Amino acid sequence: MTNEQEFIITLNNVNKWYGQFHVLKDINLNVKVGERIVICGPSGSGKSTMIRCINHLEEHQEGDIVVDGVVLNNDLKNIGQIRKEVGMVFQHFNLFPHLTVLQNCTLAPIWVRKMPQKEAEAIAMKYLERVKIPEQANKFPGQLSGGQQQRVAIARSLCMNPRVMLFDEPTSALDPEMIKEVLDVMVELAQEGMTMLCVTHEMGFAKKVADRVIFMDAGQIVEENEPEEFFNNPQSDRTKLFLSQVLGH
Amino acid sequence: MEKFTPIESRPAPLVEVGIIGWMRRNLFSSIPNTLVTLFTAYMLWIVLVPFINWAFISSDWFGTSREDCSSGGACWVFVTVRWNLFMYGFYPEDSYWRPNLAFILLIVTIAWLSIPNLPFKKWVGIAAITVYPVVAYTLLYGGFGLEVIPTHRWGGLMLTLVLALIGIVAAIPIGILLALGRRSEMPVIKMVCVIFIEFWRGVPLITILFMASVMLPLFFAGGTDADKLMRALIGIIMFQSAYMAEVVRGGLQALSKGQFEGADALGLSYWQKMNLVVLPQALKIMIPGIVNTLISLFKDTSLIVIIGLLDVLGMVRQALSDPAWLGYPAEGYLFAAFMFWIFCFSMSRYSIYLEDRLNTGHRN
């Protein structure tokens, strides 16, 4: 058994600097197929930067990142290969405002996967139904609420049929009443066996679906454990402090 | 539990609507405001009434010589007598149908492309950038059995339109490429683009035209004498594409980083990202800036008088020095100004229409 077959994502001693600032320090992480991982930690701890390295939105300077058997380096072909297989959902949705919801969903399948338009539209409608907004298909993103936009963004990623989904604080920019509709979609996705890495502060979501919770601070992984152990019996005092702040009210 | 029922929305109160209400609010709301209104009305009265009287009511429109201008108002005969000269320059009279046909074809094509919901837009668009230039060139210049009419005989409005149109059509794509190059991460491409833009932007257009017509031939050996109009045109295109590049760069910077990342994360290549996601949004933001540059390009074409080509303004100025027609500068310049204004104003209105049509309600 090689690593590539066992783990879909491998981070091996990854280090990253912004100028002189050391943002990621000796990160080691192995993700199995079908595993759901929640990453939490205070702001500036490097959690977003870490998952953005996985699809090369950020460049790392030291260490190896292997995604689905492809080594991530500066080779454009490898980057393209990995981005096809890794979907990403952003805090601010990043939908394309000049395209309709349906066009947002079919853009990448048509141009990157070279899929015929009819087929891409059929797939897009399937995923829009799964995120429960097929009736909005011909509207523009600007006409939708934040929660609806984020669900479109999830559908847009799923249309590429990715092997892994990355979520970068998907509910942080949403009104409280809309968080639930997005989390519901994510829970459903997790229950279907999608491999997920999710940066979030929704501890309820972590308890419900995560196989593993990772706590980061100051650019390093402080602690990782199964959710039950993580919440009830944190090993590090830093984790304890963080949990008391988040769960304290 | 008490049931929550939202209050029905009601229409806004009708306070003072209609023309009377508007005038009361905006023109006569206070004593100083009323005084300003009355004073402005008086000023308009003493300026506009004599002007309208001069330009329209007691003016002469038809005739053949200055003796036909007897009513004391504007002598539009000065313009109508030279109408052909102002439109076509020294283009041979029996070939006027050639620029006319080229112009009609152009209008039809532009109308076809700009009216929404007409069919075959894609094919008309392709024809407009591939077939039309060849057809227009053949019609205007000659060849394929048509008599060759050298460019030094071109002039008037026709020359203005040729210069402006080719300048616009060439400057936009070159400007976009320069702007993308200037934001490129590849140092050589970036440096070439920066040098190009800063060089052409730092030199006055007059200097460029002058160099194109006087100095360029000195560098070439005899025999490789490029056409004068062609040389001026290349100068104008270089100059305007440098300006266009900076407008486009502004639009690219106005776009949020998330749009670039969203496209990257989906696996789109650089050119797919630019063509499908970035430029459609950036160009929309840039419409006012682009049209501003195009309008200034249109007006700058009259600078070619410096190298002896006579556009519509050049023709008017030449006509003013005709001894038989001395003394009608107002009519001549008003006519030239009006010609420029019509085209610039149309561009401006079309850009506003385009902005409205492309507005999808939300900018990221």
**In this prediction, what percent of chain B has a pLDDT beyond 70?**
95
pLDDT at B14: 65
B288 and B173 together in one domain: yes
List CB contacts (< 8 A) between B281 and chain A: 96-98
pLDDT at B222: 58
For residue B241, pLDDT beyond 50: yes
CA proximity to B217, closest of B231, B206, B205? B231
- At B361, is the pLDDT very low, low, confident or very high (cuts 50, 70, 90)? low
pLDDT at A1: 41
Tokens linked to B344: 């610039």
pLDDT at A86: 93
pLDDT at B240: 92
Cross-chain residue pair B281–A96, CB shorter than 8 Å: yes
Residue B211 lies in a domain: yes
B interface toward A at CB cutoff 8 Å?
256, 258-259, 261-269, 272, 276-277, 280-281, 284, 358, 360-364
Interface test with B, best of A98, A143, A152 (most B CBs within 10 A): A98
Could you say which of B259, B281, B284 has the minimum Cβ distance to residue A94?
Answer: B259
**In this prediction, what percent of chain B has a pLDDT beyond 90?**
27
Q: What is the DSSP letter of B4?
A: P
CB A166 within 8 A of CB A89: yes
* Mean model confidence pLDDT for chain B: 86
Rounded (10°) angle between helices A117-130 and A146-158? 130
Domain range for residue B260? 77-91+153-358
pLDDT at B224: 54
Give the count of Cβ contacts less than 8 A between chain A and B.
Answer: 77
CA B176, distance to chain mean position in Å, is 18
CB A197 within 8 A of CB A165: yes
- At A216, is the pLDDT very low, low, confident or very high (cuts 50, 70, 90)? very high
Residue B351 lies in a domain: yes
Q: Is the minimum CB–CB distance between A111 and chain B shorter than 8 Å? A: yes
| Mean pLDDT computed over A190-200 | 91
Looking at per-residue confidence, does A37 or B360 come out higher?
A: A37
Helix residue ranges, H only, B77-212 = 77-81, 83-88, 97-114, 121-141, 156-182, 187-201, 205-210
Which residue among B148, B170, B191 closes a domain?
Answer: B148
| Mean pLDDT computed over B106-114 | 87
What residue type is assigned to position A174 of the chain? L
Q: Is the minimum CB–CB distance between A117 and chain B shorter than 8 Å? A: no
Question: Hey, which residues does A88 pair with through a beta bridge?
Answer: A166
B144 and B157 together in one domain: no
**In this prediction, what percent of chain A has a pLDDT beyond 90?**
53
Residue B9 lies in a domain: no
CATH of the domain at B164: 1.10.3720.10
B157 and B178 together in one domain: yes
B140-198 residue pLDDT tens: 888 787 888 888 888 888 888 888 888 988 999 999 999 999 998 889 999 999 999 99
Residue B4 lies in a domain: no
pLDDT at B355: 84
- At B124, is the pLDDT very low, low, confident or very high (cuts 50, 70, 90)? confident
CA proximity to B301, closest of B128, B176, B154? B154
How many angstroms separate the CA atoms of A27 and B255, rounded? 33
Interface test with A, best of B259, B260, B261, B266 (most A CBs within 10 A): B266
Interface test with B, best of A57, A94, A117 (most B CBs within 10 A): A94
CA dihedral B163, B164, B169, B172 (to 10 degrees): 120
CB B65 within 8 A of CB B56: no
| Mean pLDDT computed over A9-19 | 91
Q: Cβ–Cβ contacts within 10 Å for residue A213, how many?
A: 24
Residue B65 lies in a domain: no
How many angstroms separate the CA atoms of B220 and B237, rounded? 21
Tokens linked to B193: 């683009």
Domain count, chain B: 3
For residue A123, pLDDT beyond 60: yes
How many angstroms separate the CA atoms of B251 and B289, rounded? 9
Which residue among B148, B174, B191 closes a domain?
Answer: B148
